[in-house]
Copies of this chain bind each other. A is one copy, B any other.
């Protein structure tokens, strides 16, 4: 099975290459008779146009790239899933690259993107990233750049985020509403943009109630979250609620609470910000504010599409974060 080209078809049919090309594109110059002959032969030969040639000629391609710390995770896999779905439906090819949260791999990935002359880039910053220089090159080249989740500061970038502020506020309000007085609040690494948004929003609401005590902690992993939770629940005065900023933290906190046989929601309540998969694993199911990677992916793609169509003004967009009630609060 050789590769079928326009040339082959044209030779068989005794036509010129250009006629065949036009016939397949339903060009008005070509007679219906010819079109029929051409497309029938193309079908039987399983002709597929060579994308490389097309891209080369058009100086464009329909390839989008996506850089993410890790494909497998609590959140990114569903984000990617959504983006891939849209790409496929819009005849874009998706190139996924992992940065492993290393800025070296990140710049390397950006090089790969440039090599491939991608048409657009979805990017989640690695935690190590300090300089935006490499990213700015894409902007200069008019290649749409859509950041998601971990986004850079400043007004000059497209950013698609969870409504972090709203979600954190909502969680805080719920805790107050339920009359919680001693709250263990677990956040992620302070460097992360999501932490820098979620943390103050949460605190602002909580601090409205003077008599509420919050133990605020930052943790970098599930294990750290577990240790911290262990610490607070080994005291005699235990918190009456735990707030978890992310799935990763939720895992650690729940591990601790379960091991200590703390009854939920009897002895303490739990509320989390989550993609939604994990909370349903536990019994009772954890009440959470949904921070859906899937929705975020869909939104990021529509923004990308707009950029590709010329709407290049940098925009910050948010997905809604509904409350999903479990039995943990």
Residues of A at the B interface (CB closer than 8 Å) are 1, 3, 46, 48-53, 55-56, 59, 61, 70-73, 77-78, 80-81, 84-85, 88, 93-98, 108-109, 111-112, 114-117, 137, 140-141, 251, 254-255, 258-259, 278, 281-283
Contact B141 A1 (CB under 8 A): yes
Residues of B within 8 A of A116 (CB): 51, 93
Contact A281 B251 (CB under 8 A): yes
Question: Which residue in B59, B73, B96, B255 is a CB contact (below 8 Å) of A84?
Answer: B96
Contact B48 A52 (CB under 8 A): no
Contact B85 A98 (CB under 8 A): yes
Give the complex CA separation of A146 and B96 in angstroms.
20
Give the complex CA separation of A194 and B238 in angstroms.
47
Contact B283 A255 (CB under 8 A): yes
Contact A48 B115 (CB under 8 A): yes
Known pairs A1-B137, A52-B56, A258-B283 / 17 extra A-B pairs, C-beta < 8 Å: A3-B117, A49-B115, A50-B56, A50-B117, A51-B117, A53-B56, A72-B78, A72-B80, A80-B96, A81-B98, A84-B96, A88-B108, A88-B109, A95-B95, A96-B96, A255-B283, A278-B281
Contact A71 B61 (CB under 8 A): no
Contact A81 B88 (CB under 8 A): no
Give the complex CA separation of A69 and B71 in angstroms.
15
Contact B98 A95 (CB under 8 A): no
Contact B111 A48 (CB under 8 A): yes
Question: Can you report 24 residue pairs joining A to B where beta carbons are below 8 Å apart?
Answer: A1-B137, A46-B137, A48-B115, A50-B56, A51-B115, A51-B116, A51-B117, A52-B53, A53-B56, A56-B56, A71-B71, A72-B78, A72-B80, A73-B77, A77-B77, A80-B96, A88-B98, A88-B108, A93-B95, A251-B281, A255-B281, A255-B283, A259-B283, A278-B281
